[in-house]
């Protein structure tokens, strides 16, 4: 991902947060994480994150999804003695289509990214609107996509160890490689 693409996504995410009344410091804005997952299609499969706190006991983040942007299917496995991350998603704005293990929806409201269909396997649909939340237990496969207007989601969880997340798509690189513009 090019540094200019990261900067543009950070600005766009900061604007969405501000529009929704979530105030960030200048330092937080500069450190908005842009997760492109190494797929080269940030607007389709990507995620923007602000991490407020991440200790050995708990974590709090804001997740920003651009319109129809998808966070690919993954799970949070055990790490050492830790059973894995348990997380609660609380929708702040927009609409989020969350998919977890369980009985599949008859018709999905999300669109699986073209070319990645083989890497999506859980289709129990939970639709979150502002003020609604859902808790995902450790080790449960899940993925999510914003509706047409994008979404802001607050995440409250046990310790986040993103580098250990297991994605069903083997092409995914969780830690982004950022290249300077030429």
State the Cα angle at 175 between 173 and 179, rounded to 5°: 95
Residue 93 has pLDDT above 80, yes or no: yes
* Band of residue 178 on the pLDDT scale cut at 50, 70, 90: low
What pLDDT is recorded for position 2? 87
In tens, the pLDDT along 14-62 reads 999 999 999 999 999 999 999 999 999 999 999 999 999 999 999 999 9
Does 117 reside within a domain?
A: yes
- Kindly state whether residue 16 falls inside one of the protein's structural domains: no
Q: What pLDDT, in 10s, does the model give residues 120-138?
A: 999 999 999 999 999 999 9
> What pLDDT score does 3 carry?
86
Residue 45 lies in a domain: no
Contacts of 52 (CB under 8 A, 6+ apart): 28, 60, 61, 62
Q: CA 165, CA 152: separation in Å to the nearest integer?
A: 21
pLDDT score at 179: 72
**Does residue 132 lie in a domain region?**
yes
C-alpha–C-alpha distance, residues 73 and 99, integer Å: 9
Give the domain extent around 73.
52-167
- Measuring CA to CA, which residue among 128, 124, 126 is closest to residue 152? 128
The DSSP bridge partners found for residue 91 are 153
Question: How high does pLDDT run on average in the chain?
Answer: 95
Compute the distance between CA of residue 89 and CA of residue 105 in angstroms, rounded to an integer: 20
| pLDDT surpasses 70 at 113 | yes
Q: Which residue bears the tokens 């540094």?
A: 3
Confidence label for 177 from pLDDT (cuts 50, 70 and 90): low
Q: Is residue 68 a part of any domain in this protein?
A: yes
| Coil, strand or helix at 7 | helix
- The answer to whether residue 44 is domain-embedded is no
Which CATH number is 133's domain given?
Answer: 2.60.120.10
Q: Is residue 178 part of a domain?
A: no
Structure tokens at 131: 């003020």
175: pLDDT strictly greater than 80: no
Angle (CA) 81-55-28 rounded to 5° is: 145
pLDDT of 102 higher than 80: yes
| Confidence band for 176, pLDDT divided at 50, 70 and 90 | low
Q: Give Cβ neighbours of residue 152 (< 8 Å, ≥ 6 apart).
A: 16, 17, 20, 22, 62, 63, 64, 65, 91, 92, 93, 94
pLDDT reading at 182 higher than 70: no
- Is 43 part of a structural domain of the chain? no
Number of structural domains the chain divides into: 1
180 pLDDT band (50/70/90 cuts)? confident
In the predicted model, is pLDDT for residue 155 greater than 80? yes
Six-digit token string for 66: 């651009």
């Amino acid at each position: 991902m090019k540094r200019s693409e990261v900067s543009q996504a950070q600005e766009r995410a900061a604007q969405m947060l501000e529009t929704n009344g979530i105030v960030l410091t200048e330092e937080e804005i500069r450190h908005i994480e842009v997760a492109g997952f190494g797929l080269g299609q940030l607007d389709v499969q990507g995620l923007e994150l602000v991490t407020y706190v991440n200790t050995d006991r708990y974590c709090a983040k804001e997740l920003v999804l651009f319109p129809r942007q998808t966070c690919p299917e993954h799970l949070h496995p055990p790490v050492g003695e830790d059973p894995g991350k348990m997380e609660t998603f609380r929708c702040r704005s927009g609409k989020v289509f969350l998919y977890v293990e369980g009985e599949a929806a008859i018709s999905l409201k999300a669109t699986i990214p073209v070319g990645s269909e083989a890497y999506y396997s859980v289709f129990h649909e939970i639709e979150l609107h502002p003020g609604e939340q859902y808790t995902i237990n450790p080790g449960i496969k899940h993925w999510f996509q914003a509706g047409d207007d994008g979404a802001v989601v607050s995440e409250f969880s046990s310790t986040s160890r993103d580098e250990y997340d297991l994605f069903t798509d083997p092409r995914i690189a969780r830690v982004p490689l950022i290249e300077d513009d030429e």
